[in-house]
């Protein structure tokens, strides 16, 4: 039998049962709230900075002038001061720029060491060596520095060649010190560039004066000769130096007549030779010709 109004009996029973269950469960439910509290503190953090300086590299400038073999090359010892001017420790490395493709750079030996005193002529313990073209690693005492750390870096250079073989070569370099902490914090510093060169007597600039049938070539002594230099001069054919018109002599002039240049191209040069160091130079060409007598062009 079904109710004539509203819900069926079965639905009414189910509704009442559900309502009762809800009321019982809700009435006996456990409180879910918990007690909490919180408190705060404040703080600050700041990042460091990186910077460094290297002072003294320009003092490495020099001109090599020595007699004999490479073993006789003087050793140039100079002092550089490296300072970590930032607020973070740094790992150092050294590089030399301006040496790519340079003929002299591989011939200049570079030695580095640290000292707590003054740089002596003898490399200290732990010294490292290379060349300007392939510079050495920094010595152990110069690999790291704390913030504000300063140390003296000694550098010596010498020519691993003779003056005769390397005369006139020159290299202008920059020593660059790099400091790094972490992966990306990199800072670099360098002092001014310095130039090292190998002595070569500079060419003379002869003048040509005719007097009758005599042509006189005269010049002044090269300005860059050292005090001990013994410079001699000779005149040769400009296009064939084996044709010697006047042999080496110490005077600052030579006199020529037409017979002196027979078999020559008519263009001559004056060669200067500093026999002590084995360096020579060649003047600009001078043209002479024979028209009855020898004349200046």
Partner 1 sequence: MTMPENACALERIFSIRSILKTLAALVAALFVGVIATGGTYALWNKSTNIAGGTVKAGAASLVISSPLTMPSTLLYPGLTTYGTFVVTNSGDVPLQLTVQSLTGVASTSFSQSLTVAVAVNPAIGATFADCPGLASYPWSRIATSPTAGSLGSTLNVGASATLCVSTALALNAATTAQGQAVPGFVLTIGGTQP
Q: How far is the CB of 52 from partner 1 (least distance, A)?
A: 13
The DSSP output letter for 66 is -
Name the residue among 100, 83, 243, 65 with its Cα closest to residue 148.
Answer: 83
Task: Return the bridge partners of 208, or none.
Answer: 217
Q: At its nearest, how many Å lie between partner 1 and the CB of residue 17?
A: 4
Closest distance between partner 1 and the C-beta of residue 93, in Å?
17
CA distance 86 to 187: 10
Smallest separation, CB 85 to partner 1 (Å):
13
Which lies closer to partner 1 via its Cβ, residue 40 or residue 118? 40
24: alpha, beta or left, given left = phi > 0 and alpha = psi -120 to 50?
alpha
Q: What is the rounded distance in angstroms from the CA atom of residue 90 to the CA atom of residue 145?
A: 6
Query: Residue 11 CB, nearest distance to partner 1 (Å)?
Result: 11
First to last CA, the chain: 149
Three-class secondary structure of residue 237 per DSSP: strand
- Report d(CA 284, CA 53) in Å as an integer: 46
Listed in sequence order, the residues at least 6 apart from 40 whose beta carbon sits closer than 8 Å to its beta carbon are none
**Min. distance of Cβ 3 from partner 1 in angstroms?**
9
Cα-Cα-Cα-Cα dihedral sign, residues 115, 121, 125, 129: positive
- Residues forming contacts to partner 1 in the complex (CB under 8 A) are 1, 9, 12-13, 16-25, 28, 34-50, 87-89, 181-186
CB closer to partner 1 out of 1 and 223: 1
DSSP helix/strand/coil, 181: strand
Q: Which is nearer to partner 1, 13 or 81 (CB)?
A: 13
Residue 167 CB, nearest approach to partner 1 (Å):
46
Query: Cα separation of 197 and 194, whole Å?
Result: 10
Cβ-based nearer residue to partner 1, 93 or 218: 93
Nearer residue to partner 1 within complex by CB, 31 or 250: 31
Q: Which is nearer to partner 1, 24 or 95 (CB)?
A: 24
Half-sphere exposure for 166 (CA within 13 Å, toward CB)? 29
DSSP for 68-98, written as a single string:
SSGGG---EEEEEEEEE-SSS-EEEEEEEES
**Residue 45 or 250 with smaller CB distance to partner 1:** 45
Least Å distance, CB 49 to partner 1, is 5
User: Which CB sits closer to partner 1, 19 or 134?
Assistant: 19
């Amino acid at each position: 039998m079904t109710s004539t109004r509203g819900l069926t009996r079965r639905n009414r029973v189910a509704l009442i049962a559900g309502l009762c269950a809800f009321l019982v469960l809700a009435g006996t439910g456990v409180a879910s709230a918990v007690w909490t509290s919180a408190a705060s503190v404040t703080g600050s953090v700041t990042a460091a900075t990186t910077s460094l300086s290297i002072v003294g590299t320009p003092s490495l400038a020099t001109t090599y002038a020595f007699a004999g073999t490479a073993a006789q090359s003087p050793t140039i010892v100079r002092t550089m001061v490296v300072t970590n001017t930032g607020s973070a420790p740094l790992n150092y490395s050294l590089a030399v720029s301006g040496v790519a493709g340079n003929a002299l750079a591989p011939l200049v030996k570079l030695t580095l060491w640290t000292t707590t005193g003054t740089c002596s002529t003898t490399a200290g313990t732990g010294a490292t060596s290379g060349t300007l073209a392939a510079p050495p690693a920094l010595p152990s005492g110069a690999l790291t520095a704390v913030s504000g750390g300063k140390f003296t870096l000694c550098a010596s250079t010498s020519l691993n060649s003779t003056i005769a073989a390397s005369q006139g070569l020159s290299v202008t370099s920059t020593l660059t010190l790099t400091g790094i902490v972490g992966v990306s914090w990199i800072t670099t510093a360098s002092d001014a560039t310095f130039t090292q060169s190998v002595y070569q007597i500079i060419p003379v600039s002869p003048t040509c004066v005719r007097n009758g049938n005599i042509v006189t070539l005269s010049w002044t002594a090269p300005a860059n000769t050292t005090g001990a230099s013994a410079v001699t001069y000779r005149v040769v054919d400009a296009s064939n130096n084996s044709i010697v018109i006047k042999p080496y002599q110490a005077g600052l002039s030579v006199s020529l007549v037409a017979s002196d240049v027979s078999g020559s191209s008519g263009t001559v040069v004056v060669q200067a030779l500093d026999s002590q160091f084995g360096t020579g130079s060649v003047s600009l060409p001078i043209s002479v010709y024979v028209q009855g007598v020898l004349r200046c062009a």
